[in-house]
Structure 1
Amino acid sequence: MGKRTVADRLAEALGAVLGTTELPVRLRGWDGSIAGPAGAPVVAIRSRRALRRMLWSPGQLGLGRAYVAGEIDMEDDVFATFTALRTGGRLNQETRPAETTWRERLALLGTALRLGAIGPEPAPPAEEAPLGRGHRHSRARDAAAISHHYDVGNDFYELVLGPSMVYSCAVWETPEVGLEAAQEAKLDLVCRKLGLTPGARLLDVGCGWGSMAIHAAQRYGADVVGITLSEEQARMARKRVAEAGLTDKVDIRVQDYRAVDDGPFDAISSIGMAEHVGRAQMPGYVAQLDRLLRPGGRLLNHAINWNAGKSVWNPDTFISRYVFPDGELLNLGEMVGLLESREREVLDVEALRQHYALTLRAWVANLEANWDAAVAASSEGRARVWRLYMAACALTFEAGDMGVNQVLLQKTGGEQPPLRRTAWT
């Protein structure tokens, strides 16, 4: 038997992290050696520090930190590489990743010793969110969590999202229509489901960069209040509103949903917002929206749902540390159960799971096409975070572990809802 190379040793380490003896990818070591199945996607381990991170945090968090820091790289298509890693071990469990066994940890330690990777835990990359400051979902901590994700530079988001500046699932007639047309179709669908008419008062909760507010005012004549906790989003949204000549129709506020007190509204849209609220706070969130909605008014809740059983918030996942601090996904049954009541009738539930996979792939394509500009607008680590999370989430939607659903409700006490869905289809 010949001398074992760095790549051979790294294959042992990755096998321990993935919980498998059959490596799903090909590894290139920092010395240029290579190991793993021929034809598989190649993952390059560029330094011993990557192995040290895996030793201190076996699983997706250690691997994610090493990737963000540039200590691990992918030499092939990002989707092919992630597909191999997801299907080759335990990394496909996002909310509650399986723990490594003591035997696997010892094997990992032995590999690290042989490769000279033992040492103190490396500091996390700067892009990691600080956790544990204040009570979860206090107003101050929610504002900090939103700022971590959304205040990373409007120029960066323009490169990723495209001209529509919509950061939620688009609605695709076909995959060929393109991202911009699909996002416009989604905004129009929401307006039609809400039954907006000229002069209707709309509250857009989590208004982002103002795209929904502008569409509702411009196309349907609605008077819109949009709220966000992101200062950067609000600044750009106000600029876009002014450029559209809609300052008399759209009011963009930096405001917590719990602080809104100027209802009633004829309609409320919550698009990509409920994921930030948290399971324990959802009853209060629904009650607040109900207080703000007039009798007969409609509420549309558009949210990602976890399809693979009941999710458990875990602060040690890559998503929690780098992407959505304190974010929590409910399954569809939980969500509908919280939204529905004697006073709020469910009119429609529409599943858009496949649509989000297409949307995420389009965002990844935008990021990769504009990689150098995205790095210049933020940092290489930030661009790596977004590339990893969006590609991994696209595959999770395609696998059916996550879904996204629009739930439309109408508050009792007003006009009767339409007999059929033809009012908005």
Structure 2
Amino acid sequence: MQDAAPRLRSLVGQLLGAPLPLRVRAWDGSEAGPPAAPVLVVHNRRALRRLLWKPGELGLARAWVAGDLGIEGDLYSALDLLSGVVWERAEDARGPVAALRDPEVRAAVRGLVRMAGSPLPPAPPAEEVRRSRHLHTRRSDRRAISHHYDVGNDFYEIVLGPSMVYSCAYWEEGGTLEEAQHDKLELVCRKLALKPGQRLLDVGCGWGSMAVHAARDHGVRVVGVTLSQEQAAYARKRVADEGLTDRVEIRVQDYRDVADGPYDAISSIGMAEHVGAERYLEYAEVLGGLLDPGGRLLNHQIARRPQRDESSYAVDAFIDAYVFPDGELAPVGTTVAQLERAGFEVRDVEALREHYALTLRRWVANLEAGWSRAVRLTGAGRARVWRLYMAASAVAFERNQIGVNQVLAVRTSGGTGASGMPLRARTWN
């Protein structure tokens, strides 16, 4: 009898305390649930074992990456529906032992164990990495950056498009991704008030887009630093192709090892998420020490929402295991406070949350359009990681669960307090 899907929906509903908002198709071909809803495809019983051994986000992610689970229909709609469901109801806020005191939870778990067919946990997918306890040493940071960015430049070209900018774009109605990324780079340059002949340090320079834009369009001399060998090779070729080798230097170097200041300006675009809570003040102090008095820092960084208990930093289990090992997000207020503790004066904060949701949706569309080639380049598991990560992140930005901010800070003159900022600061608009 083909009845796995209705049984699954019933048991999951017991765990959640509410009906599963998706339609389910099980390995036996049965289906159950709202006819118009996206379909959660449970390809095999192994998916249940993954969820039983790791209830919550990590178990779901493992099943997705391994191909044990899939979604048919609108992926964004499915993720949006699931984001309103607290899967951790199976564990309870007090932990799995307390949750299992609930008779309904115990009955549902027993039912899922019977359906799973085996008590043994499957091995995690090969794409999963082990955490390094967020030490953020030079060695652990190099390893984490390599895991994320050395996937292959050809793969990133599929996802990011010709701009090769891997951070939130700056959109106008009806614009293209390339236009929006150009406008973001130009916005950063205007906020930094770059002038010909000045020195710019681009921390976490990626594939060289900011360095090339600033040197070509604003006449500055740029040092770009990255920990990724593949990024550096790509960026150096772009610099050479643009005829900018006399103005742009790309280094494989930790920002903590930059010792040739002072610089007139520093851009840090989508890099500070890798720094870590324990190292953030050091990061701010190092950058402040590399700036001339009156020098500006533009810090473009994803932020999470504050928690009741800020004694420890929240880490997303899926992203930590598959996407950004050792990455940590902080509230924007924490970032501002740390910059000010390091001696900066924060002059402007601009939230770009909706812009990142739009950017991620374009990246997902690029990946889906080039899916076959992406799978050939990186493997099906890695491609599934990226599709889930970017689509789920788009939903999180849209639901205001996370944000992204550009923080403009200045190193004022120690003797006079002069900032060099105009009286009407938003001259870049």
Q: TM-score, normalised by structure 2?
A: 0.92
Please identify, of 116-125 and 283-292, the stretch whose mean Cα deviation from structure 2 is larger.
116-125
Structure 1 residue 105 displacement after superposition: 5.8
- Listed as ranges, the matches of 1:392-407 within 5 Å are 392-407=392-407
Deviations for 1:316-371, whole angstroms, at most 9, x for unmatched residues?
71111111111111101111111125942222111101111111111111111111
Q: Of 407, 424, 429, which aligns to 1:420?
A: 424
CA gap of 1:297–1:373, structure 2 versus 1, over 3 A, is same
- Listed as ranges, the matches of 1:359-370 within 5 Å are 359-370=359-370
Q: Of 186, 189, 192, which aligns to 1:191?
A: 189
* Counterpart in the other structure of 1:327: 327
* Counterpart in the other structure of 1:309: 307
CA gap of 1:116–1:347, structure 2 versus 1, over 3 A, is closer
- Identity, in percent, stands at 56
2:366 aligns to what SS in structure 1? helix
Partners of 1:277 and 1:327 within 8 A in 2: yes
* Counterpart in the other structure of 2:77: 80
CA gap of 1:232–1:91, structure 2 versus 1, over 3 A, is farther
Aligned pair count?
A: 417
Partners of 2:277 and 2:313 within 8 A in 1: no
* Counterpart in the other structure of 1:168: 167
Structure 1 residue 422 displacement after superposition: 4.2
* Counterpart in the other structure of 1:26: 23
CA gap of 1:49–1:347, structure 2 versus 1, over 3 A, is same
* Counterpart in the other structure of 2:231: 233
For residues 303 and 114 of structure 1, what CA distance do their matches in structure 2 show?
46
CA gap of 1:31–1:342, structure 2 versus 1, over 3 A, is closer
For residues 134 and 332 of structure 2, what CA distance do their matches in structure 1 show?
26
* Counterpart in the other structure of 2:354: 354
CA gap of 1:342–1:67, structure 2 versus 1, over 3 A, is closer
CA gap of 1:135–1:88, structure 2 versus 1, over 3 A, is closer
CA gap of 1:266–1:52, structure 2 versus 1, over 3 A, is same
* Counterpart in the other structure of 2:150: 151
Structure 1 residue 130 displacement after superposition: 2.3
Partners of 1:55 and 1:108 within 8 A in 2: no
Q: TM-score, normalised by structure 1?
A: 0.93
Amino acid aligned to 1:64: A
- Listed as ranges, the matches of 1:114-153 within 5 Å are 114-132=114-132, 136-153=135-152
Partners of 1:20 and 1:88 within 8 A in 2: no
* Counterpart in the other structure of 2:408: 408
Gaps of 5+ in 1: none
Structure 1 residue 89 displacement after superposition: 2.9
* Counterpart in the other structure of 1:380: 380
What do you get for the CA RMSD once the two structures are aligned? 2.1
Amino acid aligned to 2:219: G
CA gap of 1:335–1:316, structure 2 versus 1, over 3 A, is closer
1:421 aligns to what SS in structure 2? coil
Structure 1 residue 308 displacement after superposition: 4.7
For residues 315 and 356 of structure 2, what CA distance do their matches in structure 1 show?
24
Structure 1 residue 127 displacement after superposition: 1.0
CA gap of 1:91–1:418, structure 2 versus 1, over 3 A, is farther
Structure 1 residue 379 displacement after superposition: 1.0
For residues 266 and 16 of structure 1, what CA distance do their matches in structure 2 show?
60
Partners of 1:278 and 1:326 within 8 A in 2: yes
For residues 324 and 41 of structure 2, what CA distance do their matches in structure 1 show?
27
1:266 aligns to what SS in structure 2? strand
Partners of 2:47 and 2:69 within 8 A in 1: yes
Please identify, of 405-414 and 72-81, the stretch whose mean Cα deviation from structure 2 is larger.
405-414
* Counterpart in the other structure of 1:268: 266
- Confirm whether residue 39 of structure 1 aligns to residue 31 of structure 2: no
Partners of 1:51 and 1:117 within 8 A in 2: no
CA gap of 1:251–1:15, structure 2 versus 1, over 3 A, is farther
CA gap of 1:97–1:361, structure 2 versus 1, over 3 A, is farther
1:302 aligns to what SS in structure 2? strand
Amino acid aligned to 2:245: T
CA gap of 1:116–1:354, structure 2 versus 1, over 3 A, is closer
CA gap of 1:415–1:24, structure 2 versus 1, over 3 A, is closer
- Listed as ranges, the matches of 1:51-90 within 5 Å are 51-90=48-87
Structure 1 residue 120 displacement after superposition: 1.9
Structure 1 residue 23 displacement after superposition: 1.1
Structure 1 residue 315 displacement after superposition: 5.9
For residues 140 and 342 of structure 1, what CA distance do their matches in structure 2 show?
24
CA gap of 1:48–1:158, structure 2 versus 1, over 3 A, is same
Partners of 1:199 and 1:222 within 8 A in 2: yes
